[in-house]
Structures are given as C-alpha cells and as structure tokens.
C-alpha cells in the first residue's frame, strides 16, 4: 500500500456523520502518481476533474429536506485530488444540517473542497426544477470497440502503443471506447468508464490503441491518474501535435468522476453518457 493509504477511509468501518463535518475530506497529493509517469515539473496538459453528485441534500431552517445535484470542477493544477469515499461522506454530513439557502451550501462546498485540494474550484448546484437541463447523449467520432481482435494482455502495457503512429498520415479525428476498466487503487473495486481521444497528428493505429486501453483492465489507479497516464503515453508514443483525453466514469455512491486533460482545448460539456 502507498504512503497515503492509511489516511483514507476506504476498507474501514464507516460511521456516517450526523452533522456537517469538513474534516471528513481526504486530500491525496497528485505528485505521488505523476512522478511515476515522469511528470516532475510543468504539466504537458491543462484541464480539470469534473464530478457530479446525485445524492446531495440538506435541511431548510425549518427542517424541511432539500435535494440537489452538484457539479464540481477541480483544476488539474491543484496540488491534491479528493478521495471519492471521503467526498461522499462529507456530502452526507449535510443531510441533517440546517442551511439558510442554496447559496450558503454552495459557499461551504466551494470553501471546504478548495481547501482540501489546495486551489479554487467551481461549484454549481441544481434544484429539482432545473433537472431537465441534464441530458444524455452519445459522443461524436468513431468508436473503436467493434474491431475483431484477439486480446491477451490485461495488465497495463504502454508498449502496446509502440509504433502505433503512422508518421506518413497526419489526421484530425476523435476516437472513443466504452471498454475502459481499471480498479480502485485501494479497494480494488472495478471502475468502469468510456474514454474519448481527440487529436491532430500522426494517425493512431486503432487496434494498438484498443489493446492498450484494454490493458488497464487489471490496473489499480484512481480515475484522474489513469487519464493522465493515457495522455502521457499517447504523447510519448504517438506524438500528436494536439491532444485531448477525456473519460466519463460510471457513478459510485452517487458520484461520477470525469477527468479532462488537453493541450489545446479549454473546456468540455458536462453531458452524461447512457451508463451514467
């Protein structure tokens, strides 16, 4: 186990707080995993971790429950990420807490989460009358999942991308796969996701790319770290001039995590896929 595992609530008996408690949040230093992939100084990407919280509730001053959906954006430049179970426990601590209004809840969330990750974050809360704004759609581009291939490697193997770029053919395209699976770094529970790669550069061999993504199947790492690893590996082996890597993971405990990394795009729409 790594040097931060002992501070996390994962795998331990859970006691749900009966009142608001920001001390439940567990930050995890990003540098620990970034150094594994050779990132010691400046980052080759920018972006954010986009979280959606579907189990968010508090009480009005008169004790009436309020429910909402929360959207949180954590900049990837922040020194820490938030461990997901601690985030869930923190949100649950609002359940029996009386708050003056939705604005006061948003203020607390922005302050506490910003302190945990070490950088300002964006918070957006939707009440039930606004839930209709949330849509489900499918990605535009080409799905690489329908290739009739043999697979045998289910442990992470970046070498599968060796010679995967065709230097004679420069393209601009979007590729995606719904076959991404990795495991939680601590509990080893499966994390299921879809991954989008948008790039401009030497054409990437789709068979090599799919085999590489499938090789995450027994890999243990947090969502954010997996996406950054894909970005760095593609940059190293395929040398795109422009690159975006974006994942939409299925939710657990009412939370989904959707890391976005790019060296040429600044934003992406928060639109759910069907599995979310």
Cβ pair 195, 160 in contact under 8 A: no
- The span from the CA of 95 to the CA of 133, in Å, is 24
Q: Are 224 and 257 in contact (CB under 8 A)?
A: yes
143 is catalytic: no
Give the number of other CB atoms < 10 A from CB of residue 81: 24
The residues that bridge with 68 in the sheet, in sequence order, are 56
Which of these is catalytic: 26, 76, 99, 184?
184
User: Active-site residue among 26, 49, 99, 191?
Assistant: 191
Active site residues: 184, 191
């Amino acid at each position: 186990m790594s040097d931060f595992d002992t501070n996390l609530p994962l795998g331990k008996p859970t006691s749900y707080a009966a009142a608001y408690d920001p001390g439940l949040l567990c930050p995890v230093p990003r540098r620990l995993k970034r150094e594994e992939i050779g990132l010691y100084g400046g980052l080759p990407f920018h972006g954010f971790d986009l979280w959606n919280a579907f189990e968010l509730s508090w009480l009005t001053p008169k004790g009436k429950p309020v429910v909402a959906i929360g959207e949180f954006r954590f900049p990837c430049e922040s020194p820490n990420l938030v461990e997901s179970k601690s985030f869930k426990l923190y949100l649950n601590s609002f359940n029996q807490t009386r708050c003056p209004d939705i604005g006061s809840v948003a203020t607390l969330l922005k302050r506490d989460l910003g302190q945990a990750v070490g950088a300002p974050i964006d918070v957006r809360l939707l009440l039930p009358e606004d839930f209709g704004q949330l849509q489900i759609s499918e990605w535009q581009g080409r799905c690489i999942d329908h290739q009739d291939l043999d697979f045998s490697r289910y442990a992470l193997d970046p070498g599968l991308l060796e010679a995967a770029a065709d230097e004679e053919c420069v393209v601009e395209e979007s590729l995606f796969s719904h076959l991404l699976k990795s495991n939680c770094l601590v509990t080893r529970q499966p994390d299921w996701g879809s991954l989008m790669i948008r790039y401009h550069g030497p054409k990437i061999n789709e068979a090599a790319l799919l085999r590489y993504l499938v090789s995450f199947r027994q890999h243990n790492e947090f969502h954010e770290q997996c996406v950054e690893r894909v970005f760095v590996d593609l940059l190293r082996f395929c040398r795109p001039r422009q690159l975006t890597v974006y994942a939409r993971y299925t939710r657990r405990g009412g939370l989904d995590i959707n890391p976005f990394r790019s060296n040429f795009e600044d934003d992406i729409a928060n639109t759910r896929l069907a599995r979310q």
